[in-house]
Amino acid sequence: MNAEKPKIVVIDDEAVMRDGCTRILSKEGCDVLTAANGDEGLSLIEGDPHGMEVILLDLKMPGVGGMAVLDGIKKINVELPVIVITGYATVDTAVEAMKKGAYDFVAKPFTPDELWLVVHRAMEKRRLEREKAHLMAEAARSLRDVATEKGKLKTIVNCMAQGVLVTDHEGRIALMNPAASRMLGLESDECLGKPLSEMVVHEEFLNLVNGVLEPENVEFAGFSREIQYGGALIRAHAGTVRADGGETLGTVTVLEDMSYVSELERMKGNFVAMVAHNFGPRFLLLNKTSP
């Protein structure tokens, strides 16, 4: 399947110029559209503002002048490269046109090679601009995807009943969800980026987290330990975070408040003690008479 031919618009009041540009550019694989005056040219561009590749514009035309047409083209599509054709106009006029947004100029009389060179250069500019826009769009989409996934992960982590504490390879706090803040008695916003050892004075807890970073322990999946912390029983599981290459990036520690387990054990013990105290003899009698 052949690629679509690039569309070139030639706006010139001289038929010989229109025909000459058409022959030259058609041989180079371009689809050439022509207009005999400014109004006709603007109508062509308005009909397909993003389908045109390059505009060739004569500055000296009866009726609507080339400068006015240039202004109209830039209002339709500012990215369209316009090459002005100068003949009777001076170079100063061409320079003025370029200051108003024209891409380049070609002076009459010109050879086929001279015309194709400037048109090809303009087409290459358009191609690079499209590639740049595509890459920027891809980058923006990737950033949005990353931001979306990051937002989802943050929501999940923040809603967890278990505490999550992440430190980098230097022991600085990189992440701490609300549950971890509550269990450790810390304010997460005040702790981010600060060394864990400055925020936590509990030696056993620090030894657990930092221990997984010790060279002799980096191959282990992690360590679990139940710790009395601030009057509560916390089960902490600490492990290393590694990059794809295997290097250690930091630690992640999952915390679970086990105080409810202690409370259940206490309630169970009280219940058993009460039953033994109040109904113990009957249970003993039943045990003796039962087969």
Distances (CA, A) of 270 to 75, 176, 231, 282: 85, 37, 21, 19
Q: Is the pLDDT of residue 285 over 60?
A: no
Q: What is the DSSP string of 229-242?
A: ETTEEEEEEEEEEE
Three-state DSSP state, 110 = coil
Give the whole-angstrom CA distance, residue 269 versus residue 286. Answer: 22
Number of Cβ within 10 Å of residue 17's Cβ equals 20
Residue indicated by tokens 């202004």: 71
Which class in CATH covers the domain with range 160-260?
Answer: alpha beta
Instruction: Render pLDDT for 126-163 as a digit per residue (tens, 0 to 9).
Output: 898 888 888 888 888 887 887 788 888 888 888 888 89
**Distance spanning both ends of the chain, measured CA to CA:** 93
Which pLDDT belongs to residue 215? 66
How large is the average pLDDT for residues 174-198? 89
Give the whole-angstrom CA distance, residue 153 versus residue 166. Answer: 14
Single-letter amino acid code for the residue at 186: L
Peptide bond into 281 cis (omega under 30): no
Q: Which of 9, 21, 13, 10 is nearest to 112 (CA)?
A: 21
Give the whole-angstrom CA distance, residue 253 versus residue 175. Answer: 10
Give the whole-angstrom CA distance, residue 180 versus residue 254. Answer: 8
Instruction: Render pLDDT for 92-122 as a digit per residue (tens, 0 to 9).
Output: 788 888 888 899 888 888 899 999 999 999 9
Q: Is the pLDDT of residue 29 over 70?
A: yes
Instruction: Render pLDDT for 221-278 as a digit per residue (tens, 0 to 9).
Output: 567 888 888 878 888 898 888 887 778 888 899 998 887 665 566 666 665 566 555 6
**Parallel, antiparallel, or unpaired: how do β-strands 248-257 and 7-11 relate?**
unpaired
Instruction: Render pLDDT for 47-102 as a digit per residue (tens, 0 to 9).
Output: 888 889 999 999 888 888 889 999 999 999 988 999 998 875 567 788 888 888 89
Fold of 7-113: Rossmann fold (3.40.50)
Single-letter amino acid code for the residue at 22: T
Q: Which of 34, 42, 43 is nearest to 13 (CA)?
A: 34
Give the whole-angstrom CA distance, residue 86 versus residue 90. Answer: 7
Output 90 or 16, whichever has higher pLDDT. 16
Instruction: Render pLDDT for 188-227 as a digit per residue (tens, 0 to 9).
Output: 788 889 999 899 888 999 988 888 877 665 555 567 888 8
Three-state DSSP state, 281 = helix
> Which alpha helices (H) appear in the chain, and where do they start and end?
15-27, 38-47, 66-76, 91-99, 112-159, 178-184, 188-191, 196-199, 203-211, 259-289
Q: Which of 84, 80, 30 is nearest to 56 (CA)?
A: 84
Which pLDDT belongs to residue 245? 78
Which pLDDT belongs to residue 289? 47
Which pLDDT belongs to residue 123? 92
Which pLDDT belongs to residue 264? 61
Give the whole-angstrom CA distance, residue 102 versus residue 97. Answer: 6
Quote the pTM value: 0.55
Which pLDDT belongs to residue 2? 46
Structural contact between residues 169 and 248, judged by C-beta atoms closer than 8 angstroms: yes
Residue indicated by tokens 């035309």: 61
Number of Cβ within 10 Å of residue 218's Cβ equals 13
Where in the chain are the domains?
Answer: 7-113, 160-260
Output 173 or 63, whichever has higher pLDDT. 173
The two structure tokens encoding residue 131: 């590639």
